[in-house]
Amino acid sequence: MAPTKSTKGRQGKVTKKFIINASQPVSDKILDVSAFEKFLQEKIKVEGRVGNLGDTIQISQIGDGKIEVIAHTQFSGRYLKYLSKKFLKKQQLRDWLRVVSTAKGVYELRFFNVQNDAEDEDDDEAESFKIEVVARLKKVAIDEDLEYQNPICSNSKRTSNGTKGNVKEIKEEVDLKLAKGKQKENKEEIDPKSS
C-alpha cells in the first residue's frame, strides 16, 4: 500500500474571547479596573514581545468591573490567569482575592472564603489572636509615644551617668525607674509600720 498524505487543511485565524469579571472587588472599591486593563495591555506578550498587541489582541472594559480580551491569535487562558495573579500580587491583594475559572473563557476575581465549619474551635483561636495583635499594636503605639513625644526619651537627654544615650538606653532607664517606683509603693502598702 502506498503512503497517504494527510488532508488536514490549515486552520484559519483563531479568535478567542476571554472575560475577567472583577465586579465584586470593584464594587467594594478595592480594585481599579482601569489600572488592571492598563497592566494587561503593558504585560501581554505577542510573539515574545511585551506591548506588541497591535490588532491581534484587543483589551476593553465591558460593564462594571469586567474586562474583555479578544485574541485573533493563539492565546492561552492560563496566561491570562497568570497575569491576573501577577497584578493582584503587585497590588498586594493576592492574600484576599483569587482568580477562579467559572466557565470556559470566563475568569472571576473572588474573595477567599473565610467561613469555616469548625467555627467554635476557630473562634477561640481567632479571638486570642485578635487580642494578641491588639496588644502588640498598643505596645507599638506606646513605644512610639515614648520615642517621639516624651521629652524624657529624646536623644538630646543625658542618662543618669551624665553621657548622652540613645533612645533604647533612655527607655530602659525610664522602665527601671518606673519599676523601682512601683516596688517602693508595694513595700509601703505591705509594711505601713516601717515608715
164: left (phi over 0), alpha (psi -120 to 50) or beta: beta
How confident is the model at residue 102, as a pLDDT? 94
How confident is the model at residue 180, as a pLDDT? 73
Give the architecture (CATH level 2) of 16-111.
Answer: 2-Layer Sandwich (3.30)
How confident is the model at residue 15, as a pLDDT? 92
Query: Quick check: helix, strand or coil at residue 71?
Result: strand
How confident is the model at residue 47, as a pLDDT? 87
How confident is the model at residue 176, as a pLDDT? 76
How confident is the model at residue 63, as a pLDDT? 84
∠ CA 133-30-90, nearest 5°, is: 80
How confident is the model at residue 156, as a pLDDT? 45
Low-confidence residues of the chain: pLDDT under 50: 151, 153-159, 161, 163-164, 195
CATH 3.30.1360.210-classified regions of the chain: 16-111
How confident is the model at residue 175, as a pLDDT? 74
Q: In 3D, which of 123, 91, 94 has the Cα closest to residue 111?
A: 94
Query: What is the C-alpha to C-alpha distance for residues 51 and 58, in angstroms, rounded to an integer?
Result: 12
